[in-house]
Structure 1
Amino acid sequence: MPSRRELLLGVGAASTAAVAGCLGSRTDEPGTDDDYAWTTVGADLRNSRTISDGAAPRDDPDVEWSVDLESGMATGEPIVTDDTVLVNTGRDVVAFDRETRERRWSINPENEPYSYYGSPTVFDDTAYVPERETLTARNLETGEVDWSFDLERIISNSSLTVTDTDDGRVYVAGGNTVHALDAESGEELWEQELLGIASYVIAKYADWLFVATRGGELYRINRWEGRIEWRRTIEAGISSAPIVLTSSDRRVGHGVAVAGGDGSVTYFDLSGKREWRTELHAFGNDGLAIGHRTVFARSGSTLYALDANDGDERWRVDVGRSSRNPPIIVGDTVYVGGDRLRAFDVGGGYGIRSLRIGGKRFERERTGDVNYVTAADGRLFVTTDVGRFEGDDTAELLVFS
């Protein structure tokens, strides 16, 4: 029979282990890959917003170069290839040469005020560009038009295009209709009407598309035929693009998560069964990412880290006033904009919920708010937001390294 001292030592060891688990520890390693691109909204077809083994600045970075966007804000995240950065300035969609920093081409040099929303998708040296009520395929080098497809309604807040090597198709939603087009010719292959206006980038996984409407409808659509396989309703509306979680993100199973207009995050399995729902606070626009088995949710002035298995809160941190700035994950670091650019350890440092130390890697203040953040080749591509009526100030594209 163990002695009293042995029992106390055992209890103490167990308590220490429990506290250590609660406080958390940093087990994720920095990324090592500095040869990657950000060619579509959300980084990949499932909208993870993650470069899992990517390298990016983890300490206070320097501005390597910047360009004037000649606008008050960007209305889509920077899309980055080996030699090109594409930015929707609201007034124009501009292709910048990464080596010379010069404007290579744009779709509307006359800059009609605030006409465009969303970001292009690049595939096989073609940029598929949302141009109000038209999806246009342009040569990435020259900007020349290969084909265009007219829609009945405006392409909404986020880019709604996906291309894929499996089927050579482009998927685009304008108004309440999703279209599948041949990526090479622009020929329409099918269309499917929705109950509501599609407002976010489409997620693709296996044989399915996941499409969300701002009014609160989440669809699973067969990508080959356009057939609706199920529809689920978030009563408070949907305020993010759907993101697909795979078995690498969870202990078991695949599914899709969306943010609700009431400050909730809901996860459905692939059959449409709701597995968990977590209440947070009011959401900004398009504020979810998935990486390191954690769902990161931007909710107002707070960044939450949720367990991907059950939605339980792991940690949270104040990130200042809200803007259009969903988080991204590169390697072991989460980046998010707002009143400045901030970077955090994906594990949140040590502590309990918001009472933590060691989680912040850096913060960088800049003239105007930080709008979108993406990453490529070990660098961060950041747009600022000075608003539409801030005198002579204009937004910038900043490249940090």
Structure 2
Amino acid sequence: MVSALSRRSALLGLASGVLGFGAVRAADSADSLGDSGVRSDSGTGTDLDWPMARYDAAGTGYDPDASGPKDGVRVKWRREPETFFGGTESPILSGDTLYATGRVLLALDVATGETRFAHEGSYRSSPARTDAEAYTTDTLAVTAPAGVFGLNAGGGIRLFDREFGVERWHGPGRESRFGVFGPPSAVPPVAADGTIYAAIPGTEHVVALDASSGRKRWRRSPGDELRRPAVADGRLFAVNWPHNTTAYDAETGERLWQAELPEQMVLPPTATGDGVVVPDRTGVTALNATDGSVRWRFDHGGNATEGAAAVAEGRVFVQSAGSDGALHALDLETGEQYWSAPVRGEGTPVVADGVVYARAYNDLVAVDTEDGTVRWRYDSRLPLSTPAVGDGVLYAVAHGRIVALEEDR
């Protein structure tokens, strides 16, 4: 008869052996894994990715190859998984797998909405997917009260009703504290060139971590109330309360410049080809990437406390808030307004195939990028996240619910 100690040792040894073999096999056979892999033969015919919140490290919210519903909308599928308690953090898309976080890491089949795997954890932010040299599956970076985590995009291995190999590394952090405007929100990390850039929860620091190991490359302290950073062309742009926008060398963490904006409430930046666009409570400012000098400013007169700007095909799309709130389209070079559309509310628009999608309280609104014509409105009855855009479909989260929206044919 095997003792409890030897039985436990045997199980641990078996688990270690399976992990050592399965870490490679699980990824190498991802196309045939179904529920446990990143991809399967689901017949979706899509290879589009929306790898992080706002699509890319620059935060543009624009994938030139993606498309969503244009002339009408209907629900393709809707799911309310028992283990999912998400708020309005954006999901991300990797081929035929959709990932969402809400006290679990949840992976869904994009065609059906069926759950592929769910891993429990206090994950709060949208994930950022990146290649990881040390692994054959991708890494998903998320932030949680305890810090930054690197998770296995393939879901690890389930053995004897336990999961192994999901959490790959745990980066710096500490328990969240209250900031100037209440408890901090989940600030999503960004991924660029094998590096994860993240605002460390509960601190005034931004950090660069190796995507494979979680090893710290550099750490800096821009200030309080950090937002999602933007990374492009070797520069990282960080904003914080009050007033500040700071540029760092993305490789070394060297501070390049710091600019002060007129408003205390500074919202997440968007990096462009030669500058950075920074919304704030009453308007949006375009700064020069090399020295932080002001290129132009547009005052919308609103009272925005959240949201970021999308940048697509030479235009900036930004929402104001308040009773006269609107969605504004601006020229990226001059800040001149092309049009404003009656989209009252605040949030982060995204753009695909000539349409900009923006939140308006409980509505998701599709607006023509050329002239601001409202194409359709969808009432979700709950505030939706900023959507991820795929091959003709929008994916969004709304307080425990995940929904896929397609063209109403």
TM-score range, shorter chain: 0.7 to 0.9
Work out whether 1:317 is the aligned partner of 2:341.
Answer: yes
Following the alignment from structure 2 to structure 1, what is the Cα–Cα distance between the partners of residues 264 and 116? 39
Equivalent in 94, 97, 100 of residue 81 of structure 1 = 94
Following the alignment from structure 1 to structure 2, what is the Cα–Cα distance between the partners of residues 329 and 34? 18
The aligned counterpart of 1:346 is 369
What's the CA shift for 1:88? 2.6
What's the CA shift for 1:122? 0.8
Tell me, yes or no, if the aligned pair for 1:236 and 1:260 is still in contact at 8 Å. Answer: yes
Following the alignment from structure 1 to structure 2, what is the Cα–Cα distance between the partners of residues 306 and 158? 29
The aligned counterpart of 1:51 is 63
Work out whether 1:279 is the aligned partner of 2:299.
Answer: yes
Work out whether 1:289 is the aligned partner of 2:310.
Answer: yes
| Secondary structure of 1:276 counterpart | strand
The residue type equivalent to 1:157 in the other structure is S
Following the alignment from structure 2 to structure 1, what is the Cα–Cα distance between the partners of residues 266 and 80? 30
The aligned counterpart of 1:23 is none
The aligned counterpart of 1:244 is 271
Equivalent in 353, 368, 381 of residue 382 of structure 2 = 368
Following the alignment from structure 1 to structure 2, what is the Cα–Cα distance between the partners of residues 158 and 314? 33
The aligned counterpart of 2:284 is 265
The aligned counterpart of 1:333 is 355
Question: 1:49-198 alignment to 2 at 5 Å?
Answer: 49-68=61-80, 74-89=87-102, 91-99=103-111, 101-108=113-120, 116-124=123-131, 125-143=138-156, 144-152=166-174, 154=176, 156-165=184-193, 168-174=194-200, 175-198=203-226
What's the CA shift for 1:78? 1.0
The residue type equivalent to 2:371 in the other structure is G
Following the alignment from structure 2 to structure 1, what is the Cα–Cα distance between the partners of residues 151 and 65? 31
Cα 1:260–1:367 shift into 2, 3 Å: closer
What's the CA shift for 1:272? 0.8
Following the alignment from structure 1 to structure 2, what is the Cα–Cα distance between the partners of residues 183 and 384? 29
The aligned counterpart of 1:202 is 229
Following the alignment from structure 2 to structure 1, what is the Cα–Cα distance between the partners of residues 285 and 72? 35
Cα 1:294–1:69 shift into 2, 3 Å: farther
| Secondary structure of 1:50 counterpart | coil
* Residue-pair matches, total: 333
Tell me, yes or no, if the aligned pair for 2:59 and 2:230 is still in contact at 8 Å. Answer: yes
**Given the two structures, how large is their TM-score scaled by the length of structure 2?**
0.75
Following the alignment from structure 2 to structure 1, what is the Cα–Cα distance between the partners of residues 363 and 86? 15
Tell me, yes or no, if the aligned pair for 2:239 and 2:268 is still in contact at 8 Å. Answer: yes
Following the alignment from structure 2 to structure 1, what is the Cα–Cα distance between the partners of residues 223 and 298? 25
| Secondary structure of 2:169 counterpart | strand
What's the CA shift for 1:312? 1.7
The residue type equivalent to 1:145 in the other structure is E
Q: Deviation per CA, 1:254-301, whole angstroms, max 9, x where unpaired?
A: 10011112x110110112111111111111412311112111111113
The aligned counterpart of 1:256 is 276
Equivalent in 212, 218, 228 of residue 245 of structure 2 = 218
What's the CA shift for 1:172? 1.6
What's the CA shift for 1:372? 2.3
Gaps of 5+ in 1: 1-32, 110-114, 247-253, 350-358, 386-393
Cα 1:242–1:328 shift into 2, 3 Å: same
Q: Deviation per CA, 1:136-155, whole angstroms, max 9, x where unpaired?
A: 11111115111111313649
Work out whether 1:39 is the aligned partner of 2:51.
Answer: yes
RMSD (Å) for aligned C-alpha atoms: 2.4
Tell me, yes or no, if the aligned pair for 1:374 and 1:382 is still in contact at 8 Å. Answer: yes
Tell me, yes or no, if the aligned pair for 2:58 and 2:231 is still in contact at 8 Å. Answer: yes
| Secondary structure of 2:68 counterpart | coil
The residue type equivalent to 2:139 in the other structure is T
Gaps of 5+ in 2: 1-44, 132-137, 157-165, 178-183
The aligned counterpart of 2:398 is 384
| Identity across matched positions, percent | 24
Following the alignment from structure 1 to structure 2, what is the Cα–Cα distance between the partners of residues 283 and 55? 28
Cα 1:100–1:382 shift into 2, 3 Å: closer
Following the alignment from structure 1 to structure 2, what is the Cα–Cα distance between the partners of residues 297 and 34? 29
Work out whether 1:400 is the aligned partner of 2:393.
Answer: no
| Secondary structure of 2:386 counterpart | strand
Q: Which ranges of 4 or more aligned residues in structure 1 deviate by more than 4 Å?
A: 69-73
Tell me, yes or no, if the aligned pair for 2:364 and 2:377 is still in contact at 8 Å. Answer: yes
The residue type equivalent to 2:247 in the other structure is R
The residue type equivalent to 1:122 in the other structure is R
Tell me, yes or no, if the aligned pair for 1:288 and 1:327 is still in contact at 8 Å. Answer: yes
Tell me, yes or no, if the aligned pair for 1:158 and 1:201 is still in contact at 8 Å. Answer: no
Q: Deviation per CA, 1:29-62, whole angstroms, max 9, x where unpaired?
A: xxxx964211112111110001124222111122
Q: Deviation per CA, 1:230-271, whole angstroms, max 9, x where unpaired?
A: 11122422442110122xxxxxxx10011112x110110112
Following the alignment from structure 1 to structure 2, what is the Cα–Cα distance between the partners of residues 287 and 224? 25
Following the alignment from structure 1 to structure 2, what is the Cα–Cα distance between the partners of residues 234 and 73? 33
The aligned counterpart of 1:228 is 255
What's the CA shift for 1:400? 2.7
What's the CA shift for 1:383? 2.4
**Given the two structures, how large is their TM-score scaled by the length of structure 1?**
0.76
What's the CA shift for 1:99? 4.7
The aligned counterpart of 1:13 is none
